[in-house]
Amino acid sequence: MSDPQGAASDTTAPELLPKPSDVRGAAERLAGHAVETPLLRADALDELIGGRLLLKAEPLQRTGSFKFRGACNRLLQLDRATRQSGVVTYSSGNHAQAVAAAAKLVGVPAVIVMPRDAPEVKIAGTRRHGAEVVLYDRASEAREALGKRIADERGATLVKPYDDFNVIAGQGTVGHEIVSQCEAFGCRPDAVVVPAGGGGLMAGTSLAIADAWPETRLHTAEPQGYDDHAMSFEQGRRVGVSGAQGQSFCDALLAPKPGALTFPINVERVQSGVAVSDAEVGAAMRAAFLHLKLVVEPGGAVALAAVLAGKIATAGRTVVAVLSGGNVDPATFRVVLNQGDDPAAS
């Protein structure tokens, strides 16, 4: 398997991008390391949308998000010499914890560059896995440059959060499991909705879903003001946002532009992108807690929010939404739970 790490454009050569076979290889590699998370459903949510809603519960994954899949797939393929030099990454939290946990599993030193204002639960979780955490100021420092400098100084391997061949393939095991689990249920979804920041989860998932079910419609979900995937799909090219269009508490999904490797995969397979408000995300977090007994972080709830807010057609259809993570600060979660009613009770 190739492992290109260089720069890419909107027209990245197909041979430089992962394929469905790479996702299947990642699934074999991750067996015994990553959790096969369940597909969950609740009668109240089915009744609310007038269809069948299946939810992929990645808060139950190791480190509390899908990110462990990609990080572990990447680090398991490092050779002995590279492992000794360690790895470096940058992340607001979920990829940070994933790389730290995978590095501990593989026996690799890890340095994680994180923003000072990242949720404390994510910073603490990263340190708990034994990684060295370097904090930076989002307003005055560029995490990519800082991460590259540390990697160059230490001779370490830089593990990007989403624009990485093997990270994308690892994230695709979410889609690989959705396919096998739906087949076990005897159903084939009409649509699959996936949260998008840099697009790595959707890129990997779309490889598995489109390969198995070409007719299934794929949709990204993003916070309002950071709907760069939706805009990019409409224009057929990577379009960035300034961040000045609005703030969101979906801290895991604030990438300003689709990834250079992820977008060429997604633009060929994803039908559309939708955006949701923080209020809609909060309602989805409450619904997941009340009906599934799951703690879901804001960024992890955007796909469910899109479905419950009626932004994806659901009447008489089967829809899968990925709950991508559950690493939310307790104080934030308490506020969300107290903000409003259960959307399924109205």
- Tens digits of residue pLDDT in 194-231: 999 999 999 999 999 999 999 999 999 999 999 999 99
Asked if residue 346 belongs to a domain, the reply is no
Residue 71's contacts (CB-CB under 8 Å, 6 or more residues apart) are: 89, 95, 98, 99, 101, 102, 159, 167, 170
Q: What angle do CA 334, 337, 342 make, to 5 degrees?
A: 175
**Of 110, 141, 166, which one is at a domain's C-terminal end?**
166
**Of 124, 148, 166, which one is at a domain's C-terminal end?**
166
- In what order do the strands lie in the sheet containing 132-136? 132-136, 110-115, 87-90, 157-158
User: Can you read off the two tokens belonging to residue 320?
Assistant: 């899968």
**CA distances in angstroms from 45 to 62, 203, 275, 290, 299, listed in the order given:** 26, 27, 20, 11, 20
- Flag whether pLDDT at 2 surpasses 60: no
255, 150: one domain:
no
For residue 252, give the nearest of 201, 291, 207, 293 by alpha carbon: 201
326, 178: one domain:
yes
For residue 98, give the nearest of 260, 223, 252, 207 by alpha carbon: 252
Asked if residue 6 belongs to a domain, the reply is no
Asked if residue 2 belongs to a domain, the reply is no
Dump pLDDT digits (tens) for 22-39.
999 999 999 999 999 999
Dump pLDDT digits (tens) for 43-94.
999 999 999 999 999 999 999 999 999 999 999 999 998 999 999 999 888 9
Look-up: residue for tokens 């107290």? 338
Dump pLDDT digits (tens) for 273-318.
999 999 999 999 999 999 999 999 999 999 999 999 999 999 999 9
181, 246: one domain:
yes
**Of 166, 184, 206, which one is at a domain's C-terminal end?**
166
57, 77: one domain:
no
- What is the Cα–Cα distance from 129 to 110, expressed in whole angstroms? 10
- What is the Cα–Cα distance from 45 to 34, expressed in whole angstroms? 28
- Flag whether pLDDT at 7 surpasses 60: no
Number of domains into which the chain is organized: 2
Asked if residue 5 belongs to a domain, the reply is no
Specify which residues 266 forms β-bridges with.
none
pLDDT at res. 346: 61
- What is the Cα–Cα distance from 213 to 206, expressed in whole angstroms? 10
- Flag whether pLDDT at 3 surpasses 80: no
160, 215: one domain:
no
Dump pLDDT digits (tens) for 111-153.
999 999 888 888 998 999 999 999 999 888 889 999 999 999 9
Contact criterion met (CB below 8 Å) for 302 and 195 = yes
174, 49: one domain:
yes
57, 139: one domain:
no
Domain that holds residue 304: 18-61+168-340
88, 155: one domain:
yes
216, 123: one domain:
no
- Helix ranges (DSSP H) in the chain: 20-30, 43-49, 67-75, 80-85, 94-106, 120-128, 143-154, 165-171, 173-185, 200-212, 228-235, 262-266, 278-292, 302-308, 330-337
Rounded to 5 degrees, φ, ψ at 40 are -115, 155
pTM for this model (two decimals)? 0.92
203, 257: one domain:
yes
Asked if residue 345 belongs to a domain, the reply is no
Q: Exposed, middle or buried: residue 170 (CB in 10 Å: 0-12, 13-18, 19+)? A: buried
195, 318: one domain:
yes
Asked if residue 1 belongs to a domain, the reply is no
Contact criterion met (CB below 8 Å) for 100 and 106 = no
Using DSSP, state whether 44 is helix, strand or coil. Answer: helix
- Flag whether pLDDT at 5 surpasses 60: no
- What is the Cα–Cα distance from 201 to 172, expressed in whole angstroms? 7
Specify which residues 321 forms β-bridges with.
55, 193
Asked if residue 11 belongs to a domain, the reply is no
Q: Measure CA of the first residue to CA of the last residue in the chain; give whole Å.
A: 51
38, 72: one domain:
no
Asked if residue 134 belongs to a domain, the reply is yes
CATH of the domain at 228: 3.40.50.1100
- What is the Cα–Cα distance from 274 to 138, expressed in whole angstroms? 26
